């Protein structure tokens, strides 16, 4: 019988036939597809024809289609619906993929062909896109070590392979800690918790096979518990477990893994002639240098820290008024901040949540895309990898644009956080293919499912990434969608969050789960008025993480990452009642792979642009101004990585932005 992963998919929109795929299919399909890609690359490298853009660069673009199909399915389910079999496969595949990638980038014959084309580029009459693809291909090979020889070349392959293994181990250790820990709650421990938090705790207890409600380390469960539970002892226990992920000793401890990863990254950078890994990594980003990154982060750190310290004083007074002496602790902050928000803005999260139904927020995110870009969404009945997943066909003027998949609920086999990925990227070469894009979130289940305001913002954020994928309109898949500089990739996602706060959007889609009534005007005004509440805390916990990430990579790799983390925080004067958003042992952005290493700052770099970009709509006097939306699509959302990021932004806005709009947007301006 033909392996469904290797067959021609004659399904609607050529979607993966999830109902026919079993875990047993992955390994044989992977091995066969990997071998096929190796043969394709070897044929390109060994071609007797003189090197040309068509027979080398374009040939590489289409090589590996079978492997892409297998991996797009596998990594989607491995991240969002893991099990022991898939975890074992991931441990097997990762080093093989790293070795395969290293073999390609170290293929001297292939690099020789690419270099010949690169050297002759001015005589080849290439389109602007083709010139860009050629430059990125040549640069990627050089940065991958293609020009290395002998022992240095061999060592580079070893480093890449080992990093792939360590990244997988880091991720799986973190998932294991998040999956295994839970805190049972007696009925009397539920006091003070709003109904939605109680429902989530009961549902989590059922999933864990416990005899009653539990708190887990899923953000959608633990954060409301820390916000609302008056039981300081239980808040402390839950927070300590959350903070200790990846640092509990034993087989799942990530501290030594983090240290080895940092040492290998430094060695890799130096083999390529860079002073540090940060210098290597930032060369291709908008920021370019560690100094530029530090400059941005410190511009924001000082006003954020001042705001956080002022807030800490207020929260400490509130705690003392409750008869609790001593210092404000990290497990106290969210509890007293929630009390303060309710007092100062008369905004009660428990009263707000029934107006933020998941289904209505999905509708809102779609409706904004319809008004801005003319997109239409029609539900699809197709097999997907989990019963919680949903799919829609996306069209414009009757033409197919993309398939969008949403996987919204937390479960034991799903890694924490939220993300967007393309199971198939947009391209016109060798034939037009519509993208298949997936958003994965970790919201608490309910009937109906209710979101916090932060959850709703996350939903809009990930859908902004999805629009970047779906509206892509380039020729080559390697530069489509989100294939852009890391510090540019968060611009569309963070920009899209702004539409959640457009009053007319909330007025129409924030309707009560039981009565169907729209959010009262007074509550709507409180929501928008409280949008910058606790921004000192949020900014400090984020910027501290970004500065630790930068410090890890801009000099010699620390022999003890935890000591280095402590040193950086001490130098910053980190407020005692705030912790890093992601401490080293669970900093998956930085250690699960190279994606955000030296690059966690990029959310803030992008936020400087998103604050300025939304001002373009405000200056036009309409959050849905057609001309501004058209320019946004034309210059940013449709162009992928076909042009340098700073040039794209200047085409949209006429200039690059300063930090002022960000500070104003966060309420941190002087």
**Of 520, 527, 525, nearest in space to 341 by CA:** 527
Report how far apart the first and last C-alpha atoms of the chain are (Å, whole number).
68
The confidence score (pLDDT) of residue 300 equals 95
Q: Total structural domains in the chain?
A: 4
Residue whose entry in the numeric block shows the structure tokens 């060369």:
283
Confidence of residue 660 (pLDDT cuts 50, 70, 90): confident
Place of tokens 């966060």: 666
Cβ-Cβ contacts under 8 Å for 644 (sequence gap 6 or more): none
Q: Average pLDDT in the 166-188 region?
A: 96
Task: Give the 3-state secondary structure of residue 60.
Answer: helix
| CB 252, CB 259: distance < 8 Å | no
Tell me how far apart the 2 most distant CA atoms of the chain are, in Å: 83
Say whether both 257 and 272 belong to one domain. yes
Residue 509 falls within a domain, yes or no? yes
Confidence band (pLDDT; 50, 70, 90) for 658? confident
Decide if 163 is inside a domain: no
Based on the domain organization, do 203 and 65 belong to the same domain? Answer: no
240 and 205 housed in the same domain: yes
Q: CA-to-CA distance for 243 and 298, rounded, in angstroms? A: 25
**pLDDT over 90 (residue 278):** yes
Domain annotation covers residue 577: yes
CA nearest 616: which of 651, 642, 646?
A: 651
How far apart CA 113 and CA 150 sit, in angstroms, is 20
Phi, psi of 207 (to 5 degrees): -65, -35
Considering Cα of 466, then 77, then 12, then 61, what sign does the dihedral take?
positive
Mean pLDDT score, 104-114: 94
**Is residue 646 within 8 Å of 612, Cβ to Cβ?**
no
Spatial contact of 21 and 5, defined as CB atoms under 8 Å apart: yes
63 part of a folded domain: yes
CA distances from residue 578 to 243, 312, 534 in whole angstroms, order as listed:
11, 9, 12
Query: Is the pLDDT score of 1 beyond 80?
Result: no
Between CA 549 and CA 543 the distance in angstroms is 10
Quick check: is 623 in a domain? no
Q: Three-class SS of residue 670? A: coil
Backbone angles phi, psi at 591, to 5 degrees: -110, -15
Same domain, 505 and 551: no
* pLDDT number for residue 335: 98
Q: What pLDDT score was predicted for residue 595?
A: 87
User: Of all residues in the chain, what percent carry a pLDDT higher than 70?
Assistant: 100
**pLDDT tens, residue by residue, 128-138:** 999 999 999 99
CATH code assigned at 76: 1.20.1050
- 579-628 pLDDT per residue, tens: 999 999 999 999 999 989 999 999 999 999 999 999 999 999 999 999 99
Q: What pairing do the DSSP bridges indicate for beta strands 399-409 and 436-443?
A: parallel
Interatomic CA distance for residues 279 and 262, integer angstroms: 14
Cis ω for the linkage preceding 430 (within 30 of 0): yes
229-245 mean pLDDT: 98
Q: Is the same domain home to 379 and 442?
A: yes
Q: What pLDDT digit, counting tens, does each position of 385-433 carry?
A: 999 999 999 999 999 999 999 999 999 899 888 999 999 999 999 999 9
CA-closest candidate to residue 595, choices 163, 174, 176: 163
Phi, psi torsion values for 393, nearest 5 degrees: -85, 135
358-389, pLDDT tens digit by residue?
999 999 999 999 999 999 999 999 999 999 99
* Residue range(s) defining the domain that contains residue 220: 181-245
Q: What phi and psi values does residue 395 have, to the nearest 5 degrees?
A: -130, 165
Q: Is the pLDDT of residue 669 over 90?
A: no
The Cα angle at residue 209 between residues 205 and 214, in degrees rounded to 5: 20
- The span from the CA of 386 to the CA of 220, in Å, is 20
Q: Is the pLDDT of residue 141 over 90?
A: yes
Q: How confident is the model at residue 254 (pLDDT cuts 50, 70, 90)?
A: very high
Q: Tell me what pLDDT residue 238 has.
A: 98
> Residues 133, 95: one domain?
yes
Q: What is the pLDDT of residues 538-586, one digit of tens each?
A: 999 999 999 999 999 999 999 999 999 999 999 999 999 999 999 999 9
What average pLDDT does the structure give for the chain? Answer: 96
653 part of a folded domain: no
Q: How confident is the model at residue 349 (pLDDT cuts 50, 70, 90)?
A: confident
Q: Is residue 411 domain-shared with residue 338, that is, in the same domain? A: no
Location of structure tokens 């410190």: 298
Residues 591, 634: Cα–Cα separation, whole Å: 35
- Per DSSP, 450 falls in state B
Q: The domain that contains 412 carries what CATH number?
A: 1.10.1370.40
Looking at residue 502, its pLDDT comes to 95
**Distance (Å, whole) CA 185 – CA 445:** 18
SS3 at position 550:
helix
C-alpha neighbours within 13 Å on the C-beta side of residue 506: 25
> Does 464 lie in the same domain as 412?
yes
Beta strands in 169-226 (DSSP E): 182-184, 214-216
Picking from 584, 600, 616, the residue at the C-terminal end of a domain is 600
| 224 and 261 inside one domain | no
* Residues 472 and 595 reside in one and the same domain: no
What pLDDT does residue 293 have?
96
- Partners of residue 377 on adjacent β-strands: 394
| Cβ–Cβ under 8 Å, residues 174 and 415 | yes
Reduce the DSSP state of residue 201 to 3 states and report it.
Answer: helix
Give the separation between CA 609 and CA 494, rounded to whole angstroms: 9
- Does the pLDDT of residue 348 top 90, yes or no? no
Give the pLDDT band (50/70/90) at residue 661. confident
Would residue 462 show up in a list of annotated catalytic residues for this protein?
yes
User: Which of the residues 462, 477, 554, 633 is marked catalytic?
Assistant: 462
- Looking at the fold, whether 300 and 359 belong to one and the same domain comes out as no
The CATH number of residue 337's host domain is 1.10.1370.10
- Range 514-530 average pLDDT: 92
Asked if residue 595 lies in contact with residue 296, where contact means CB atoms within 8 angstroms, the answer is no
Q: Which of 493, 526, 559 represents a domain boundary (last residue)?
A: 526
- What is the spatial distance between Cα 495 and Cα 352, in angstroms, rounded to a whole number? 23
DSSP letters, 574-623, are: --TT---SS-GGG-HHHHSSSTTTTTTTHHHHHHHHHHHHHHHHHHHT-T
Record the tokens describing residue 287, joined without a space: 């920021």
| Secondary structure (H, E, C), 381-425 | CCCCCCCCCEEEEEEECCEEEEEEEEEEECCCCCCCCCEEEEEEC
174 part of a folded domain = no
**Do 235 and 316 share a structural domain?**
no
Overall size of the chain counted in residues: 670
Instruction: Kindly report which listed range (176-185, 271-280, 526-535, 541-550) carries the lowest average pLDDT score.
Output: 526-535
Q: Residue 247 — very low, low, confident or very high, per pLDDT cuts 50/70/90?
A: very high
Q: Environment class of residue 19 by beta-carbon count within 10 Å: exposed (0-12), middle (13-18) or buried (19+)?
A: exposed
Lowest-pLDDT range of 15-24, 422-431, 529-538? 529-538
Q: How many CB atoms lie within 10 A of CB 86?
A: 18
| Residue 639 domain flag | no
Average pLDDT over residues 185-207: 94
pLDDT-derived band at 531, boundaries 50, 70, 90: confident
User: Who contacts 299 (Cβ-Cβ below 8 Å, separation ≥6)?
Assistant: 659
Domain boundary, last residue among 199, 217, 245: 245
Interval 446-467: pLDDT, tens:
889 999 999 999 999 999 999 9
For residue 270, the surrounding DSSP H or E stretch is helix 255-271
């Amino acid at each position: 019988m033909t392996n469904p992963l290797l067959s021609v998919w004659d399904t609607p929109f050529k979607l993966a036939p999830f109902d026919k795929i079993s875990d047993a299919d992955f390994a044989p399909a992977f091995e066969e597809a990997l071998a096929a890609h190796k043969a394709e690359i070897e044929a390109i490298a060994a071609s007797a024809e003189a090197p040309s853009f068509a027979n080398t660069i374009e040939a590489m673009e289409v090589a590996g289609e079978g492997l892409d199909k297998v991996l797009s399915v596998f990594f989607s389910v491995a991240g969002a619906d893991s099990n022991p079999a898939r975890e074992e496969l991931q441990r097997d595949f990762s080093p093989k993929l790293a070795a395969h990638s290293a073999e390609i980038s170290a293929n001297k014959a292939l690099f020789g062909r690419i270099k010949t084309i690169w050297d002759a580029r001015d005589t080849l009459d290439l389109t602007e896109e083709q010139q860009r693809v050629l430059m990125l291909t040549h640069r990627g090979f050089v940065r991958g070590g293609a020009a290395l020889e002998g022992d240095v070349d061999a060592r580079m392959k070893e480093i890449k392979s080992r990093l792939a293994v360590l990244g997988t181990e880091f991720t799986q250790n973190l998932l294991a800690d998040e999956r295994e820990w839970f805190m049972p709650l007696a009925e009397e421990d539920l006091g003070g918790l709003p109904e939605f938090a109680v429902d989530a705790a009961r549902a989590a207890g059922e999933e864990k096979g416990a005899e009653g409600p539990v708190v887990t380390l899923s953000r959608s469960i633990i954060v409301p518990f820390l916000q609302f539970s008056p039981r300081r002892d239980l808040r402390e226990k839950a927070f300590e477990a959350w903070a200790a992920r990846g640092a509990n000793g034993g087989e799942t401890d990530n501290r030594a893994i983090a240290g080895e990863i940092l040492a290998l990254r430094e060695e890799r950078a130096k083999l390529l002639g860079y002073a540090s890994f940060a210098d290597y990594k930032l060369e291709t980003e908008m920021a370019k240098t560690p100094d530029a990154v530090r400059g941005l982060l410190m511009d924001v750190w000082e006003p954020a820290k001042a705001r956080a310290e002022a807030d800490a004083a207020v929260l400490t007074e509130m705690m003392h008024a409750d008869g609790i002496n001593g210092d404000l602790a990290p497990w106290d902050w969210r509890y007293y901040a929630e009390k303060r928000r309710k007092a100062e803005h008369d905004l009660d999260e428990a009263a707000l949540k029934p107006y933020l139904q998941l289904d209505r927020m999905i509708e809102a995110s779609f409706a904004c895309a319809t008004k801005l870009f003319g997109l239409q969404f029609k539900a699809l009945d197709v097999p997907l990898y989990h019963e919680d997943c949903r799919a829609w066909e996306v069209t414009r003027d009757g033409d197919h644009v993309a398939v969008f998949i949403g996987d919204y609920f937390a479960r034991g086999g799903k890694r924490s956080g939220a993300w967007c990925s393309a199971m198939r990227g947009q391209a016109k070469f060798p034939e037009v293919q519509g993208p298949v894009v997936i958003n994965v979130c970790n919201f608490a289940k309910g009937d109906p499912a209710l979101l916090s305001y932060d959850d709703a913002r996350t939903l809009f954020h990930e859908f902004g990434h999805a629009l970047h994928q779906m509206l892509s309109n380039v020729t080559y898949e390697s530069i489509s969608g989100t294939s852009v500089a890391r510090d540019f990739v968060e611009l569309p996602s963070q920009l899209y969050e702004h539409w959640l706060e457009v009053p007319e959007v909330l007025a129409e889609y924030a309707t009560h789960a039981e009565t169907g009534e729209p959010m009262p005007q007074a509550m709507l005004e409180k929501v928008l008025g409280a949008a910058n509440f606790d921004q000192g805390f949020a900014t400090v916990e984020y910027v501290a993480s970004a500065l630790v990430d930068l410090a890890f990579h801009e000099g010699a790799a620390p022999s003890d990452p935890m000591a280095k983390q402590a040193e950086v925080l001490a130098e910053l004067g980190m407020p005692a009642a705030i912790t890093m958003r992601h401490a080293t042992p669970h900093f998956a952005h930085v250690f699960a792979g190279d994606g955000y290493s030296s690059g966690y700052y990029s959310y803030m770099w992008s936020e400087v642009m998103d604050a300025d970009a939304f001002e373009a709509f405000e200056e036009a006097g309409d959050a849905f101004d057609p001309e501004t939306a058209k320019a946004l699509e034309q210059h940013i959302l449709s162009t992928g990585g076909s042009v340098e990021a700073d040039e794209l932004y200047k085409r949209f806005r006429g200039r690059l932005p300063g930090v002022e709009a960000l500070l104003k947007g966060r309420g941190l301006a002087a």
